[in-house]
Structure 1
Amino acid sequence: MRSYLCLGILFCCLAAALNSASAEEAQPYDFYADAMGYDPASGLYTARGNVRIEGEGLIITADQVSYAPDQGIIHGEGSIVMRMGQDRMEGDRLVYHLEEQRGFFENGRLFISESQFRVRGRRIERTGERTYVVDDAGLTTCEGERPDWEITASRISLTLEGYGTLNHGAFRIRGLPALYTPWLFFPAKTKRQSGLLLPEIHLSDRHGYEQLQPLYLALSESSDATLYYHFMGKGPDRLGLEYRKLWSSEDRLTLRLDGLKDEDPTQTAVQEGISRDRYWFRMKQNLAFAGGVQGFMDLDLLSDIRYMDDFKGGTLGFTKTNALFQKEFGRELDPEKEDTRTNRLLLTKTGEVFRMEGEVIWEDAVRRRTQDLQDDTVQRLPRLSLSTRRQRLLDLPLYHVFEGESVYFHRIDGERGTRLDLAPRVYAPFRLGPISAEPSLGLRQTFWHSENPLEETSSGYHTENRLLYDARMDLFTEVYRVFDGGPIGADKIRHSLQPRLTFEYVPDKDQNHLPFFDDLDRIEKKRRLTYSLTQTLTARFKEERPGEEGPQDTYRDYMRFKISQDYDMDRAETRGEKPFSDPKAELSLWPLPYVRLFGDITWSTQEAKWSAYSSGAEITRDAHYFYAEHRYASEISASLHLRGYLALREDLGLLWDYERNLKEKIIQKQDYGLRYNAGCWQLDLIYSDDKDDRKIGFYWTLTGLGVLEHSLDESFLP
């Protein structure tokens, strides 16, 4: 079947190029040549030497051309080249009817710029408005007379936006036939078309031999679907569906559903809540309504907590699905290991000075649901909010903002009820010489109406309220100096110091009797001073840019260093408590355009030692890529992550992705591979091993035709 898939792709290349010619309507043409003549007997115009014929969207050059005006036919010989935009067709002899837009090339060669396809044929003929015939055809994206791979056929006949036939087709490697089909009937459409896609194939310890076969369905101009059949040598087969609908750039939907029926789950699986029907449904949708109202829907429904771990690779796996949603919607899924999956519908309306939101959130606690445990997960059904932007208060030197929220909290087991929260705030910014000051005062009024059915003494719904105020003062400034560029080649270097001091105050208020749904229900007292210092180095270069006069300014960051710490006045007045928080420093360096160094470190004031740190480097130069990061948190975790690609030659390289838990001395992930890139094709051989499964697979890519891949994510590949 693979031969049919590869050979069937030939129609896409020819149809795309030839279709551009079919769209051209008859236009007036201009003729240029070194010498031109006319033969009254035959009625032919002749042109010799640097012949050039131009019409809208079409340029023909040749050594010699004759033109019969009564027939509208051009005969061309010698180095004939026809250009249609960036595409190019050439041959030894051309016969072409300008008005009817039909004719043929002998020993023709066609280059399609967008896809880099090269098509050849002993004769490439356009027989009608949408019909073509190519004799002794060949297709490749490789250069040279003997390409690394090529699809050949004795004859191809096709009708654009219709169907075509291929006779005696073969897939050849370095001229040697590897696959053959005597005849192939295929759809000759330049638009989206239904059909089988290249499969994913890999071997693993867990599932044995696997093949994921996709079937693409073009349902309409604005919607399509892909059906998946996942064969597994060990275990039941899996089915999948992907559906996409596009109404506009702001109104679109993508969903994926896959699952299987496990007729014989293990006893351990049953105890973990894994049923016979296993599935994962995820969907994201953007909605556009009248009046500027926007909607965002996220659904994530999982049959059991082990499903994503059992099927984490391939197109339907977590990483590729998450990357798809991030690319199309700018929103990600919950983390792969998170067993509480968020389902949300959000409606927003934004004006010049306000923003309104209406939201429904259901947190699906998969473990509690499948194992029949008590579920006190908080749901928001719904949440309504109104906020305003900072704006001037009358003609006073004051600014104000407002945030208001009303939420109904629901629990399957536990307290539930409604909360109304109103929070206005006033700012009074001013300057003290070079220092900017911004004092602000906030007021928060909160009401609850709730009940707890699990309490034996509960008498139904009851009402509570709380009134709090808070105060804040921000002081900040910037001091900088500009130096000459010095040895780094910059024109100027700007060194900036940005100190900031913030004081926050919240009075002490007993709130233990209030309902508790989230952190807003317990606002702790606060008398906290936060101070930080940020330093930056920014270089300015003078560079010449094509199309612009004189040198232009470009800027590049060299260094960013920030150190911060808190001082808690309440802790200072409490015996045994240390008022200073653990100071933290963060550093980013770009010593060279292709090098980034980064790290952060935290000092424990209580234990008098470094409590946490991380450091890393990222290097990207030419085809080489290297990333390394080490993280450490005292008594909690330690890890090492290495990822990269090393180009041994222009066409050969090593790639790797390695993660290790240093605290538990466990390898979390290790992928090692070899990549060979011949320009028009590429092969990646990869061995993958994590703590649960091992895989051996490959990426085989024919440039322009697609990729035959294993289930390993390609996200780490450079």
Structure 2
Amino acid sequence: MFAFPPLRLSALTLALLAVHAIAAEEVPEPAIQIEADEAIARSRTEAEAHGNVIIQRDTTEVRSEWAQYDSATDHLKAGDAVRMTRDGDVLTGNNLDYYLGPRRGTLDNPDYHVAQGVARADAVKLLFDGPDRYKMRSARFTTCPADRDDWYLRASTLSLDYANNVGMAYNGWIQFYGVPILYSPWLNFPLSGNRQTGFLAPSIAFDNRNGIDIQTPFYWNIAPNYDATFYPRYLTDRGTMLGAEFRYLQPSYNGQIRAERISDHKEEEDRYSISFLHRQQITPRLSMSAQVEKVSDDDYFNDFGDQVAVASQTNLPRELAFNYAGDGWSGLARWQRFQTLQSESDPVDIPYARLPQLYYSSSPHWIKGAQISLTGEYTDFSHPTKIDGQRMWVNPTITYPLLQTSYAFIKPKVGVHASYYMLNDNGNIEGDNISRVLPTFSLDSGLIFERDDTFKGWDYTQTLEPRAYYVYIPYKDQSNLPNFDSALTDFSLAQIFSENRYSGNDRINDANQITLALTTRFFEGDSGEERFNATIGQRFYFQDQRVTLDAYEKPADVQESDLLISFGGRLWRQFIANYSLQYNVNEGATARADAGLGWAPGEGRALNLRYVMNRNVSPIIEQIDISGQWPITRNWYGVARYNYSLKDHSSLEALAGLEYNAGCWALRLVAQRYVNDDSDTAEDEDKYTVTYFAMLELGGLVGLGSNPVATLRQSIPGYTDVVAPTSIK
């Protein structure tokens, strides 16, 4: 027996490892270093150390009062007060019995702190079950810091497998401030943001249409490129809904299938929803997409969807499309029809089906300096009640800039729009073949002036940009043409610089008009960021417009359009203001106005005020919208929105809630009421949907309740999620 003063026994252990490795004819493990007040070499393979022992190998360090190491078996024993650090993880306990190579062993009375301190655990015994795998007996696990025991996951056995990103708790329950709130004989949870098979946190919500809504999703991680989610859902007022979603991803294609069904005992009928989406790159130039959506009835999204679904789901597509990208040209072949969801208060015009639609577009370089465009389309339109048939059109155009500099441009453009219709017989209406050929001409011109200046120490650049846009299209009577896909576009600063005020290709307006506009912008002198812009524009007609959307519409006989004014920008720090006005100069009245103020000085701080008025639609819209998110105290945040119709003297949406962020857990409480049926015959209980959200989030482990974040983001511009997700490792 030999005693050594405090020193590193690197040479000794290296020799022991070398002898053992040569005997075994294997590549040796990295050297182990032992530092202690006293060290003893008992044999060629065994060493013992006492007093302030520090043992290191690679990223593993063990500190203890005493230690025994056998290089032949790579076996380490340490005791009394053990502190083990591995890849940033810290484990403390009483007695360590550990094999360094396979990383297997035990630690008594362990305390476990994950790297960066985002999670910790304690137990009666910890078992090392291989690289990055731990098992704990009679364990507690939390993401709260060491000085707080707000919540714990307790389990008779807790398994943490960082190699596969999965945590498992057997005979486990969650305890929140000493109160058990969730029990399960088996719980699994992710240890980072990666996905894994298992039950997701249950979702519990309440609204006045369905009662209590409980959903318990199960996620199946089939493969890295396949997964499925099953979500049984129980609604107390309607029954049990079964739903599932399957997603797939391959290098050349991807998609998802979703379906749900319920035997609704409130409506006494079976109701369902199906959706399918597939995208595929067949060749480097040819791609394909397919989409099918279908619901059992018009009120499906009103009853089972959220506000976004109610507002957006009107025409559900069923289509198959092929796209081809050639050298300087592209083509589209599409077959498309819709399921149209109707509302008693706002009937929807059923769109035409396209069976098929063939589209071609190219930009040949036939003339140097010219911008040439060739577009054309063939479509077979089908409709259950309206006249239908086939339409073909081509539209070649050429733009040749006469002047194109940093301070001025002059761009004339000429084109021809030729259409041919082959209409079908429809009841008493006899089919016919009709053609239309219209030449088009436009001249776009503008100047850009700049000046640099300083205002109270602020360096800025101001621009002044006058623009003139002239269009000439001769008149041609189009009242005998069907209207498959044309509509009047929204009058705006973007639209007044276009040739046609109609969308689609069934109506081409006659035009002999000029648009005049003036824009000014202010830019930061240092960063070049735009801080403010303002535009005023108006269109002037040299002759009356005679083409209308249908034969019953009265042609316009005005000499000038409405006046358009728009200005806004970031006026001060994070304070943003915007205003737009459409003013009818002939009637001396405002046709439309939109004013908004927004202030978002930091995360979790946003205030918004907006006023909207539009007399161009029926019924007339006049609304005021107030929304915001703001800290109330150190950890509490308030959220609210109130959207009020001044015309109807009624609320369209009201939302209020509180969010609490305690660091390792968070609470969200939100109530929302919005209009889903504004018909005069609707009862109050059917006119509004009232939903209550309550969500308890426990670190990166689990969320219990119904999450309102998607609703808050949709309702409150500038909303930020104040509860950042935490990766346990």
Scaled by the length of structure 2, the TM-score of the pair is 0.78
* 1:44 to 2:16 alignment: no
Shift of 1:252: 2.0
Q: Which residue of 1 aligns with 2:385?
A: 413
* Residues 389-538 of structure 1 aligned to structure 2 (within 5 Å): 389=363, 391-394=364-367, 396-431=368-403, 434-456=407-429, 458=430, 462-484=432-454, 486-487=456-457, 492-519=459-486, 520-538=505-523
1:577 alignment partner AA: D
Match of 2:326 among 332, 351, 374: 351
* Residues 193-592 of structure 1 aligned to structure 2 (within 5 Å): 193-248=196-251, 251-262=253-264, 265=267, 276-313=269-306, 319=308, 336=311, 339-367=314-342, 377-389=351-363, 391-394=364-367, 396-431=368-403, 434-456=407-429, 458=430, 462-484=432-454, 486-487=456-457, 492-519=459-486, 520-541=505-526, 554-571=527-544, 577-592=557-572
2:598 alignment partner AA: E
1:211 alignment partner AA: I
- Residues 1:637 and 1:32: Cα distance change in structure 2 (over 3 Å): same
**Cα displacement string for residues 258-298 of structure 1 (whole angstroms, at most 9, x for unaligned residues):** 33234574xxxxxxxxx833233233332221233223333
2:305 alignment partner AA: K
* Residues 30-69 of structure 1 aligned to structure 2 (within 5 Å): 30=31, 39-42=40-43, 43-44=46-47, 51=54, 53-55=56-58, 58-60=59-61, 62=63, 67-69=69-71
Q: Which residue of 2 aligns with 1:632?
A: 613
Match of 2:694 among 677, 698, 702: 698
Task: Give, in whole Å, the separation in 2 of the partners of 1:70 and 1:608.
Answer: 98
Please state whether the residue corresponding to 1:715 is helix, strand or coil.
helix
- Residues 1:93 and 1:526: Cα distance change in structure 2 (over 3 Å): farther
Task: Give, in whole Å, the separation in 2 of the partners of 1:415 and 1:583.
Answer: 38
Task: Give, in whole Å, the separation in 2 of the partners of 1:540 and 1:51.
Answer: 59
| 1:359–1:384 Cα contact (<8 Å) kept | yes
- Residues 1:639 and 1:502: Cα distance change in structure 2 (over 3 Å): same
Q: Which residue of 2 aligns with 1:550?
A: none
| 2:203–2:705 Cα contact (<8 Å) kept | yes
Task: Give, in whole Å, the separation in 2 of the partners of 1:261 and 1:150.
Answer: 39
Task: Give, in whole Å, the separation in 2 of the partners of 1:341 and 1:180.
Answer: 40
1:361 alignment partner AA: Q
Match of 1:133 among 132, 135, 138: 135
**Greater shift after overlay, 698-707 or 61-70?**
61-70
Match of 1:118 among 117, 120, 127: 120
- Residues 1:87 and 1:555: Cα distance change in structure 2 (over 3 Å): farther
Shift of 1:419: 1.7
* Residues 90-129 of structure 1 aligned to structure 2 (within 5 Å): 90-91=92-93, 94-112=96-114, 116-127=118-129
Task: Give, in whole Å, the separation in 2 of the partners of 1:180 and 1:523.
Answer: 65
**Cα displacement string for residues 377-398 of structure 1 (whole angstroms, at most 9, x for unaligned residues):** 4111111111123x5324x443
Please state whether the residue corresponding to 2:476 is helix, strand or coil.
coil
Shift of 1:463: 2.8
* 1:659 to 2:659 alignment: no
* 1:602 to 2:582 alignment: yes
Please state whether the residue corresponding to 1:577 is helix, strand or coil.
coil
1:625 alignment partner AA: A
Q: Which residue of 2 aligns with 1:685?
A: 669
| 2:68–2:76 Cα contact (<8 Å) kept | yes
Please state whether the residue corresponding to 1:693 is helix, strand or coil.
strand
Shift of 1:563: 1.8
Task: Give, in whole Å, the separation in 2 of the partners of 1:54 and 1:502.
Answer: 76
Q: Which residue of 1 aligns with 2:626?
A: 642
- Residues 1:195 and 1:446: Cα distance change in structure 2 (over 3 Å): same
Shift of 1:613: 0.8
1:480 alignment partner AA: E
**Cα displacement string for residues 166-186 of structure 1 (whole angstroms, at most 9, x for unaligned residues):** 566443333x252586x9356
Shift of 1:139: 0.5
2:474 alignment partner AA: P
Q: Which residue of 2 aligns with 1:29?
A: 30
| 2:466–2:517 Cα contact (<8 Å) kept | yes
1:655 alignment partner AA: V
- Residues 1:218 and 1:572: Cα distance change in structure 2 (over 3 Å): closer
Please state whether the residue corresponding to 2:216 is helix, strand or coil.
strand
Q: Which residue of 2 aligns with 1:620?
A: 600
Shift of 1:206: 2.7
Shift of 1:88: 4.7
| 1:354–1:386 Cα contact (<8 Å) kept | yes
> Which consecutive residues of structure 1, in runs of 5 or more, have no partner in the other structure?
1-24, 266-274, 323-334, 542-553
Task: Give, in whole Å, the separation in 1 of the partners of 2:425 and 2:598.
Answer: 53
Q: Which residue of 2 aligns with 1:22?
A: none
Task: Give, in whole Å, the separation in 1 of the partners of 2:57 and 2:519.
Answer: 63
Task: Give, in whole Å, the separation in 1 of the partners of 2:566 and 2:188.
Answer: 58
| 1:376–1:413 Cα contact (<8 Å) kept | no
Q: CA RMSD, aligned part only?
A: 3.7
**Greater shift after overlay, 657-666 or 529-538?**
529-538
| 2:210–2:303 Cα contact (<8 Å) kept | no
| 1:361–1:380 Cα contact (<8 Å) kept | yes
| 2:37–2:53 Cα contact (<8 Å) kept | no
1:626 alignment partner AA: L
**Greater shift after overlay, 280-289 or 108-117?**
108-117
Task: Give, in whole Å, the separation in 1 of the partners of 2:384 and 2:277.
Answer: 26
- Residues 1:452 and 1:620: Cα distance change in structure 2 (over 3 Å): same
Task: Give, in whole Å, the separation in 1 of the partners of 2:328 and 2:72.
Answer: 71
Task: Give, in whole Å, the separation in 2 of the partners of 1:583 and 1:311.
Answer: 44
Please state whether the residue corresponding to 2:284 is helix, strand or coil.
helix
Please state whether the residue corresponding to 1:716 is helix, strand or coil.
helix
Shift of 1:628: 1.9
1:503 alignment partner AA: Y
Shift of 1:478: 1.6
- Residues 1:419 and 1:90: Cα distance change in structure 2 (over 3 Å): farther
| 1:29–1:53 Cα contact (<8 Å) kept | no
Please state whether the residue corresponding to 2:250 is helix, strand or coil.
strand
Q: Which residue of 1 aligns with 2:72?
A: 70
- Residues 1:237 and 1:137: Cα distance change in structure 2 (over 3 Å): closer
> Which consecutive residues of structure 2, in runs of 5 or more, have no partner in the other structure?
1-25, 487-504, 547-553, 676-687, 714-718, 720-729
Shift of 1:710: 3.3
Please state whether the residue corresponding to 1:308 is helix, strand or coil.
helix
Please state whether the residue corresponding to 2:301 is helix, strand or coil.
helix
- Residues 1:264 and 1:101: Cα distance change in structure 2 (over 3 Å): closer
- Residues 1:140 and 1:485: Cα distance change in structure 2 (over 3 Å): farther
Task: Give, in whole Å, the separation in 2 of the partners of 1:426 and 1:27.
Answer: 75
